[in-house]
Amino acid sequence: MDPFSLAVQHYQAGRLQQAAAAVIDHLRLRPTDVDGLRLLGMILLGLGHPEDALATLDRAVAAGKRDPAAHANRAQVLRALGRPREAATALRKATSLDPSLVDAWVELGAVEQASGHTEASALALGRALELRPDRSVAVALADRVATLPDPPVALAGALLVASRLDGVDHTRFDRVAERVLVPLRDDPERLVVHPVLHAWLARGTVHHPDWERALVSARSWLLREVVEGHAVDGAALIAFGLYGWSCEYAWEIPEGDAPETLGQTVLERAARAMYEPVGLDEQELQPLRRVAVDEPATEDALANELEELVPSEDAALQGMYEENPYPRTVAVQVRAPVPFDAWIRAALPLSDGERPPTGELQVLVAGCGTGRHALTSACTWADCQVTGIDLSRRSLARAARRAKELGVEHLHVYRADLTRLGSWERRFDVVESVGVLHHLEDPEAGLTVLAGLLRPGGWLRFGFYSELGRADVVAARAFVAEHGFPATTEGIRAARAALLRLPGNHPARPVVYSADFASISGCRDLIFHVREHRFTTDRLAAALDDAGLRFVGFQHVDPAVPARYAERWPDDAGRADLARWGELERDHPRAFSGMYVGWAVSRA
């Protein structure tokens, strides 16, 4: 075997010293061989000699200026040396020489993100995804896009690829779709045939009133085309039908639309499915049948297999979620898991004295609903066993179906009332209950029960509505009550239409921009809920203290919120003073417009 082939064999087997000796023998005979220099550079990096590796790869680049792999390898070493800008330059050179170099695009995406250049990172990952469909790349791209107020329209192709992959939160691409399609918003004939619209309706969420109005008009146009016997794009009908099922036909039906008059041809049935559930036996309508018939049938079977730990005594709450499982769709980012202690230290500014749990974790998600939160935790933290509990059998069945579809075997769901688990003997390292306790008759009592299920030093993630941050929802609930809208599909649809017609300065108007407003189940949870409590930071502090918990910090979606805290109290690096958070919230009432989402540690 020649020295170079022997070096490659040793390198691939992890025998770096033997690989180095063999490739050096090769380079004595061919000192400017680019492949040999590249291999030696990567061996030196693996042996912990990055400076020598860089010098070797500089020789490789000099010997093969148009060798894209040499530039890509050099970028790896520069990144290891903490020189990200030079690494990015090297990767851009590599991809300019060979635009099909997928791994270089992925590496460029990582380097740009580490340097704070999120849009450049997204564009690089988008190129990689178009070249090679890959869920891990799509998940990383979704993470980037979600933080960009105006993501580039050049990501349209990547959106289409991502839409064909499961285990990706496709709603994070909603804003990309909006920006790509905005030139066509008032042109239904061109809008309805666009593949980005089809992908958006099949996988995303429409939660801007201007877009809802435009798409209601486009749906009406499609209906008229079918009624008048014109040729229409069947994919457009299916896309609108899929979104109709997803949002539970929440959109208002204009006075001129009469889907009930349609006949029984395949096109007519597909058109009617844009407005209401219909029988779906035809092969051409299989995508609609899958969500409207097959998935519910699977859930019915799984519901019969659920184990009940303790029955519920809260009939009103249980009944609501049996009628409207929440959240309606279960979009999850399936990513490479990381240890919990590393994850929590990245999420919160913890002091060195904090000791998050390590090793294999037992995690409880109390009030897991249809499983989005429980599945996210199961797909985020390494070495964890996740238990999900909920009142609603239908919600749990959907969680079980999605876990099976995603191959998540370490999530187990049970029917149980969390308020009645005080005598349960199981204990957990982490307990999560976000957006749940404030719907109980006694939220503080529920918190105390959950705190009692923690092991000594265990961590609890909570989520409570804020009194100040929820002012628009309070106004919307009052509007609904004043006008007597019932909590039925028809009543919620009528309430949505009325809220959408409110002037922009009405205190209830902001709710129409909520993602929950987009579906019947979400809207019911948002403004028709049978019960909700709202907290202040003072009430939160008292609740945590009474439950034997110590507050350690909030998680924030908007980075501007912790930045304001740091600016006001620069010496408080831990940002764990609830009195100060209350002061900041009074000055910025929308700081916790979603919820107070944070972490506390058991004092036991």
State how many domains the chain has.
4
- Residue 426: count of CB within 10 angstroms of its CB: 10
**Across 563-588, average pLDDT:** 97
> Considering 269, 296, 323, which residue would you say is the last residue of a domain?
296
pLDDT digits (tens, 9 = 90+) for 342-360: 999 999 999 889 999 999 9
> Considering 160, 195, 220, which residue would you say is the last residue of a domain?
160
Cβ contact 272:241 at 8 Å: no
pLDDT at residue 279, as a whole number: 76
Q: Does residue 44 lie in a domain region?
A: yes
pLDDT digits (tens, 9 = 90+) for 333-342: 999 999 999 9
pLDDT digits (tens, 9 = 90+) for 15-53: 999 999 999 999 999 999 999 999 999 999 999 999 999
DSSP 8-state secondary structure symbol assigned to residue 541: H
Q: What is the mean pLDDT of the chain?
A: 96
**Same domain as 141, residue 35:** yes
**Same domain as 411, residue 338:** yes
Give me the residue label for tokens 């209830």: 508
Q: Does residue 551 lie in a domain region?
A: yes
> Considering 296, 325, 360, which residue would you say is the last residue of a domain?
296
Please state the pTM of the whole predicted model.
0.93
**Across 562-588, average pLDDT:** 97
**Same domain as 542, residue 521:** no
Cβ contact 190:222 at 8 Å: no
CA atoms within 13 A on the CB side of 307: 6
- Residue 399: count of CB within 10 angstroms of its CB: 30
Cβ contact 540:503 at 8 Å: no
Cβ contact 323:519 at 8 Å: no
pLDDT at residue 594, as a whole number: 87
Q: Does residue 179 lie in a domain region?
A: no
**Same domain as 93, residue 82:** yes
Q: Does residue 168 lie in a domain region?
A: no
**Same domain as 343, residue 237:** no
pLDDT at residue 246, as a whole number: 97
Cβ contact 427:456 at 8 Å: no
Q: Does residue 304 lie in a domain region?
A: no
Cβ contact 517:523 at 8 Å: yes
Confidence class for position 285, pLDDT limits 50, 70, 90:
confident
**Same domain as 364, residue 238:** no
**Same domain as 252, residue 103:** no
Q: Is the pLDDT of residue 283 over 80?
A: no
Cβ contact 453:431 at 8 Å: yes
- What is the SS3 assignment for 159? helix
Confidence class for position 117, pLDDT limits 50, 70, 90:
very high
Closest to 36 (Cα-Cα) out of 13, 14, 17, 64: 64
> Could you tell me the CATH number of the domain that includes residue 328?
3.40.50.150
Give CA–CA dist 312/308, Å, rounded: 10
Q: Is the pLDDT of residue 588 over 80?
A: yes
**Same domain as 108, residue 212:** no
For 479, the domain range is 471-527
Cβ contact 343:377 at 8 Å: no
Strand partners, 602: 549
**Same domain as 543, residue 482:** no
Going across the sheet that includes 596-602, the strands are 308-310, 411-416, 384-390, 361-366, 428-434, 454-464, 596-602, 549-554
pLDDT at residue 222, as a whole number: 98
List C-alpha distances in Å: 468 to 456, 525, 586, 598.
34, 19, 8, 17
Q: In sequence order, what are the residues at sequence separation of 6 or more whose Cβ sits closer than 8 angstroms to the Cβ of residue 545?
A: none
**Same domain as 259, residue 138:** no
Q: Does residue 490 lie in a domain region?
A: yes
Q: Is the pLDDT of residue 304 over 90?
A: yes
Q: Is the pLDDT of residue 196 over 90?
A: yes
- What is the SS3 assignment for 535? strand
Kindly report whether the peptide bond that precedes residue 183 is cis, defined as omega within 30 degrees of 0: no
Concatenated DSSP letters of 35-93: HHHHHHHHHHHHTT-HHHHHHHHHHHHHH-TT-HHHHHHHHHHHHHTT-HHHHHHHHHH
Confidence class for position 575, pLDDT limits 50, 70, 90:
very high
pLDDT digits (tens, 9 = 90+) for 517-570: 999 999 999 999 999 999 999 999 999 999 999 999 999 988 999 999 999 999
List C-alpha distances in Å: 53 to 25, 83, 555.
17, 14, 40
Q: Does residue 167 lie in a domain region?
A: no
Closest to 75 (Cα-Cα) out of 119, 35, 118, 42: 42
**Same domain as 323, residue 284:** no
Concatenated DSSP letters of 402-470: HHHHHT--SEEEEEE-GGG-TT----EEEEEEES-GGGSS-HHHHHHHHHTTEEEEEEEEEEE-BTTTT
**Same domain as 35, residue 152:** yes
**Across 244-268, average pLDDT:** 94
> Could you tell me the CATH number of the domain that includes residue 96?
1.25.40.10
Q: Does residue 191 lie in a domain region?
A: yes
Q: Is the pLDDT of residue 280 over 80?
A: no
Give me the residue label for tokens 């740009």: 112
Strand partners, 549: 602
